[in-house]
Structure formats: C-alpha cells, structure tokens
Amino acid sequence: MAFIDYYKVLELDKKADAAAIKKAYRKLARKYHPDVNPNNEEAHKKFQQINEANEVLSDPEKRKKYDRYGKDWEQSDQFHAYNQQRAQQQQYGGGGGFEQFGGGDFSSFFESMFGGGGGFQQSRRAAYKGQDLQATLPLTLEQAMTTHKQTFTINGKQVRITVPAGVEHEQVIKLKGYGAPGSNGGPAGDLFITFTIMPHKDIRRQGNDLYLTKEIDLYTALLGGEVLIETLSGKVKLKVQPLTQNGTKTRLKGKGYPVYKQEGMFGDFYVTYEVKLPLSLSDKQKELLQEMKDQEK
C-alpha cells in the first residue's frame, strides 16, 4: 500500500497539536466537500484523503502508531501480539527466530509474516481480528435535517449508509465487519463513523431548536409589516407587529431540527428581530422625527 503523508494532506507540521489538526481539517473539509465541488473527481479524492488523515491524526493512539510505523501502522498490534507469542514459546522451550523481529524491521516482519518471502508455516500463524477503522463524515445542517443515503470510500472499500434525520454532532455509529481485513482467517475489524455537522452561515442550532437573527428596518419595526424567513424546511412569511422592539423573539413551532429517530417530531425555530437604524436622514425625515419627539413631550 502506498504511503500517504497525512501531515501533508492536512497541510500541517508534524508537531501540530490537536487544535491545529481540528482547525485544518474543518477548513479543508469545507473547501473540498462534494456539495461544493459537484462532479469533481479530484476534489472528491482529496476530500476522502482529508477524512482519512483526520481519522488517524485526531486520535492520539493512532497518531502515535502512524508516526512510528508509517504505512504499516494498522498492523502494529499484530506485530506486538506475535512478538509476545514468540517470547512465550521461547520461555517454554519453543525454538528460536524471535530475535530477528523483536525490535527489528517492522515492514520486513510483515513481508515474511504475510507472504513476502521466507515465511512461516500457515499452521503456526495465529488468527487476529482486523484493525478497527475510524471515519469522519461531515454533514451540512440541511443534510442532517432529512434521512438520506451517503456513499464514501474507506480503506479501498465503498460503503453506503443511511443517515437518519436528526443525527447529532459528533455522534458515532459502528458498522461491524467494515474495518481492516483480519489475518490468518481472523474476522475483519469494525468501522466507526463520526458525524460532524458543519456550522450554518445564518442559523444556529441548540439541541433540537434552531435560531435565526433577522434584520428589519426602523419603519417596519415602528409601523409593522411582513418579512420573509428562510428556514431549513422552506420559506415562511412572518407578520411583524407595529412597535416591535429590538431583540423581540418569535417562535415557529415545529419548524426546528428533527428529533433523532422520532419521526414527525421537531424542535422549534426562533427568530430574533434586530432593528437596523438608517445610516442617513433627509431634512424632511428629520423634521418629522422632531415633530414626533415634540409630541411625546
């Protein structure tokens, strides 16, 4: 398997801390997300590499193995398990040959162990479960609103899953047997998928409720009127009452985020009005405002 430098993929130095890794991943995931680059195979491939790099470097244990063993990091547990087995055999009088691998060339060990060249008898190899794999699947807030299919590639295998509406940010699901292949007849590992919901440019989510700040002009605030609101489930026309104060909040019941695995259940959508003052006034407008002020007195 060709070696992929995950640090270069995320445009990071090898000394990057967890915060830098997270920041770099989010930046590049947005840039190369399939929704932003439809029908762009190169961007799709880059997006997969970014996910793969983040899966490894954001996990301290996996990053440690990757930094030490490079392309063979996923087999490091098998390497150490084999060394322990050989050590036990030596202790109880079981033959030599252990020293050539204990602390030796990790890649050479796997070439010999799994068909590279000199080899061990198949009957003497222990069966090991394959390495569990981690994947991160970014979703827009709009995508997370509905149950839908997602297809992606992990470890050279195409995986198609159904994403339920209302999935949580950083929620993890397990796909049994979708990890790395086992060795010597052992079962495949599992695939753990972490969902990340990317921030929306206008709408903020808190639990199952959604929040939007909507600007209205001074005249609409004073006299009343109508405004058009973009919710994640469509456009809604709202009536603004006369003398609406800055910061007034209105609720759209059932227009919020779906409740996970409870079909037909939704949170609420809250709109906060922000009164925008005019940047300039004509002489006539000033005169009218002064007249209003005098009448208040």
pLDDT tens track for 121-134: 443 456 778 888 88
The answer to whether the beta carbons of residues 35 and 20 sit under 8 Å apart is no
* pLDDT tens sequence across 17-36: 999 999 999 899 888 887 78
To the nearest whole percent, how much of the chain has pLDDT over 70? 79
pLDDT of residue 121: 41
pLDDT tops 60 at residue 118: no
Q: Mean pLDDT in the chain?
A: 82
How far apart CA 130 and CA 176 sit, in angstroms, is: 11
Q: Are strands 269-276 and 209-217 parallel, antiparallel or unpaired?
A: parallel
The answer to whether the beta carbons of residues 52 and 29 sit under 8 Å apart is no
pLDDT of residue 11: 93
The answer to whether the beta carbons of residues 125 and 183 sit under 8 Å apart is yes
pLDDT tops 80 at residue 157: no
The answer to whether the beta carbons of residues 258 and 265 sit under 8 Å apart is yes
pLDDT tops 70 at residue 247: yes
pLDDT tops 80 at residue 77: no
Q: Which residues contact 109 (CB under 8 A, 6 or more apart)?
A: 79, 82, 101
Q: Which amino acid is at 151?
A: T
pLDDT of residue 159: 85
pLDDT of residue 115: 46
pLDDT of residue 91: 55
* pLDDT tens sequence across 173-200: 999 988 888 877 888 888 999 999 999 9
Instruction: Output 66 or 171, whichever has higher pLDDT.
Output: 171
pLDDT band per the 50, 70, 90 thresholds, residue 47: confident
Q: Which residues contact 29 (CB under 8 A, 6 or more apart)?
A: 47, 50, 51, 54, 138, 196, 198
Mean pLDDT throughout 204-211? 94
How far apart CA 46 and CA 29 sit, in angstroms, is: 9
DSSP secondary structure of 174-185: EETT-SSPPBTT
pLDDT tops 50 at residue 100: no
The answer to whether the beta carbons of residues 177 and 190 sit under 8 Å apart is yes
pLDDT tops 80 at residue 98: no
pLDDT band per the 50, 70, 90 thresholds, residue 223: very high
Q: How many alpha carbons fall within 13 Å on the CB side of residue 189?
A: 18
* pLDDT tens sequence across 263-274: 889 999 999 999
pLDDT tops 80 at residue 164: yes
